[in-house]
Amino acid sequence: MAPGQPFQSHGFQTSIDTARQQTTPKTTTTTTTTIAPVAGVKRPLQTIGDRRPRVTTTTAASLHRYTHRQAQDSTPDNNNYQKIVPAAEATHTSRIVASAISGPTSALAPPTATHARPQSAASPLLSLQHPKYGLPPTLVSNFKAVGIDSIYPWQASCLLGRGHLSGERNLLYSAPTGGGKSLVSDVLMLKRVIEQPARKAILVLPYVAVVQEKLKWLRRIVQDVEKNIVVDDSDNDAAAKPRTRPPKEIRITGFFGGSKSRTTWADTDIAVCTIEKANSLVNAAIEECTIGDLAAIVVDEIHMLDDDSRGYLLELMVTKLLLLQQDIQIIGMSATISNTDLLAKWLRASYHGSDHRPVPIEEYLVYENIIYQAAQSKEFFQTATKLDPASLLQASLGSYRVIDASAFKQLAKPTVNAMVALAVETATAGFGALVFCGSRLACQANAMLIGGAVQPPSASDAEILEKRLDLLAELQSLPCGLDPVLQVTVPNGVAFHHAGLTTEERDLIADAYDQGIIKIIVATCSLAAGVNLPARRVIMQGARMGRDLVGPALLRQMRGRAGRKGKDTVGETFLICEKPDLEDVAEIWDAEIPAIESCLAQDQDNKGVKRALLEAIATRLVSGREAIEEYMRNTLLYRTREAAEIQKLTEASLQELVDAKLLHLREDESYEATKLGGAIVASSFSPDDGLFIHEELKRALEAFVMDGEMHIFYMFTPLSVAMNNVIDWIVFRDQLDALDESGIRALQFVGVQPGFVNNMAQCGRTLKEDNPAQLNLARVYHRAFTAFQLRDLSNEVPLSTISSRYRTPRGVVQTLAQTCHGFAAGMVRFCQRMGWGMLAVVLDHMRDRLQAGARDDLLEMAQVTFVKSRTARLLWENGFRSVRALAEADPKDIVPVLMMSRPRKMQEQQEIERYSAKIQRKAEVIVGSANRIYELQMHVEIDE
């Protein structure tokens, strides 16, 4: 395609084609076409030469090397995060034209614009104001404020099912992604908490990002909503009244790794948790005999029962609640479950299913630059694997379109060419697109390619350009600085999104996309199950995540992100295939979702069964043989295995726990947890991890290296994160060489041998984990390598520096910091339960440093919002050495100090001014936060 040639689309029409034809384009030149989207007429897009970021020839060459490798291997190495850099020249997208054989066909026009939700006038029961739902007017108004003034018929049927609103019956239900599942559980959960003010609810979500998103949503929904607390003023006997009454407002708290909240189970009404934290809360409530306070538990994405690494935690948590047989309503939901009868019987729940999607989806398959309607997939797959690509046009498959081959080297591969053409077509028409890729590196490279092909806003589109520049300033003001790829792509409305970014970066990008500032997000497949970011068009570059083919459930979740309820009337999905994957894609495209199976006994070591038994016995839920057998009968495992097999698994697991001295067998044949077993459960460790940690802490008690910090950082390194952290042996060797005598002694004490590290660096081998001894050795070295990163985080080394030093994405480094805080709390509880008080005190002090990311002298200041690590040190060095000093400061006085922390020099005056405005607002927040903390300190001193 010649540079500047207008973007065209013919043949069968997508909804975007129809949108573009709603007004007659007026061509101002021979190279620019005005495109009119459904939402309104967009002005012509023209290049703003002086605002395009300039990059070097070296960076262009690096991207060229990657795209060349992309042509050879569609699944690049995820570890090469730092290698993607901006390209120097822009590319142009290929035309999407009609096939000469098929000719034009009927337009696939979007449905007539409708309301996002049905009108309540259609049926009184579709209004949340209906008396049957019994919701307070304030709650109904809050739902209406976010666009929910009525519900769908399937939601009404689900809510009004026998015993659901009253909490007398458990509920399992399924509906497509974007079909409104969450509203049902929200209504049921809130109703229980409002009507029973002394009781609580737990909402279980799979990922931290989803927990944080849900927290914001629920807090907005319950604003000014009060619980039904009745005060009997006629009772004059003050002694008969409780000393304290539960607060009327609904308190919502997030429990997840890295959460800095000090709120406890007793101080919350709705706990929004990750799977791990939810299980820990249930254990604590059972042990403390407060489980009766729980009124409802909602398990979102209940298909996670089938997850290899975390599914067994969901199962054992639900099993404990089923055994209790108390007044606790269990609500499970998912978009991807198949064996619903089995799950409903296990949960003792009624099942409701719906296939309703408020926004219909049109689906297409793309192969060798040809776009087919997905309805033709079966016939297409039968012929495509046998025909030469040039002969595919001879197959009589009905309507299709052809994407012109590109003359640009970066777009030579058909899958890349199609991805860029479809993404740019979407953005040019004024809509949003999600592009799914199989790796982090591919996300960044593809974002660069798409960003180079999208026309930047014209001078007349100053408003959207200003918002994008504001977004760049926000990203620039973060402690990690501005990513070089985002620096280039964001002005053109393109960004990438994956776990290598920090939480703050991902939040800013997601918010900008939701507001229409960013038009295209290139993301890893995991985003489909993470954050709620629907799009007009979903483009899947292949059907692989890394080197593995995605399963039917994940593929359905990606496709389900198409269609923005309330914003779009239709969604579109495009799956771009390569020939080797055609037959596999044919199998999973319309495949049934695999049946969910128990993960309690997924390995030979019976880790899941051992943890299930240890937790039940340690919390005194069961002890005798009959009770243990009844407990196992409540598992999902019991419904999928023979009773004799379950009995054998149970006996073997109990014996292993006794042999490991985690359980004690009494004379009456009942079991009780040992001190060690109770400490492991209280700390939320698995039995195997708990035993490993116990051995290391026992040795630490004998000879803790106190003249340095390396030993304690090693102890605080989370096992789960460390084992997923790839060791760079050369970096490991360099860090060892830089240690002082105390650090070397500490690491040698835990089992690290410098000679072994040097040999590994020279030969480039990897550690084996084939037996328990090898696994323990791997744990030691993985923890030691990760401990270096933890040490740097706590000694005010910038996150971006740590990322570069250890060749690890900064988002992964941040996750380490967040996970470490929860792991450290578990270590403190472990020591307390074991009676190791002095060690618990030392660990607790260091936990504060980990949370602050700073040394001892900055711990007080690190409580202030935005004052962490590098910022705290700069303020300290410039005279602001206490919370009181910050509270009494004028915001303008600390702006120059905050400006010192900017990660790079800025060339343009406009960029400096924009960044300064962000810093000014940040300074005001810092002073306000310091004032609140100082006032609390004053109140405490007065009370004392």
Residue in 741, 738, 750, 661 with CA at minimum distance from that of residue 703: 750
In a domain, 754, yes or no: yes
Question: Which pLDDT tens digit goes with each residue over 724-739?
Answer: 888 999 999 999 999 9
In a domain, 385, yes or no: yes
Query: 741-750 vs 687-702: helix axis angle to the nearest 10?
Result: 130
What does the alpha-carbon distance between residue 116 and residue 332 come to, in Å, rounded to a whole number? 25
Residue 79's pLDDT is 38
Residue 225's pLDDT is 92
Kindly give the parts of the chain with pLDDT less than 70: 1-122, 230-246, 258-262, 375-400, 528-531, 566, 847-859, 869, 901-912, 939-944
Same domain, 645 and 715: no
In a domain, 239, yes or no: no
**Phi and psi at residue 150, to the nearest 5°:** -155, 165
Same domain, 519 and 384: yes
Instruction: Determine how β-strand 520-524 pairs with β-strand 494-497.
Output: parallel
Same domain, 422 and 555: yes
- DSSP assignments along 254-305, one per residue: EE-TT------GGG-SEEEE-HHHHHHHHHHHHHTT-GGGEEEEEESSGGGG
CATH code: domain of residue 276: 3.40.50.300
Same domain, 745 and 829: yes
Q: Which domain holds residue 287?
A: 120-231+245-353
Same domain, 327 and 202: yes
In a domain, 600, yes or no: no
What does the alpha-carbon distance between residue 907 and residue 895 come to, in Å, rounded to a whole number? 19
What does the alpha-carbon distance between residue 919 and residue 233 come to, in Å, rounded to a whole number? 52
Same domain, 711 and 827: yes
Same domain, 368 and 306: no
In a domain, 105, yes or no: no
Surface-to-core class of residue 765, CB atoms within 10 Å of its CB (0-12 exposed, 13-18 middle, 19+ buried): exposed
Question: At which of 830, 853, 876 does a domain end?
Answer: 853
332 in Cβ contact with 303 (< 8 Å) = no
Same domain, 723 and 869: no
Same domain, 845 and 766: yes
In a domain, 599, yes or no: no
In a domain, 433, yes or no: yes
Question: Which pLDDT tens digit goes with each residue over 169-200?
Answer: 999 999 988 788 899 999 999 999 999 999 99
In a domain, 106, yes or no: no
Number of domains in the chain: 5
Residue in 162, 208, 163, 206 with CA at minimum distance from that of residue 298: 206
CATH code: domain of residue 702: 1.10.3380.30
Q: What is the pTM of this model?
A: 0.80
Question: At which of 652, 672, 692 does a domain end?
Answer: 672
What does the alpha-carbon distance between residue 658 and residue 650 come to, in Å, rounded to a whole number? 12
Same domain, 424 and 566: yes
Residue in 371, 375, 391 with CA at minimum distance from that of residue 383: 391
Residue 189's pLDDT is 96
Residue 233's pLDDT is 54
To the nearest 10°, the Cα dihedral for 266, 271, 275, 276? -30
Same domain, 276 and 167: yes
Same domain, 648 and 684: no
Question: At which of 353, 374, 407 does a domain end?
Answer: 353
Residue 103's pLDDT is 42
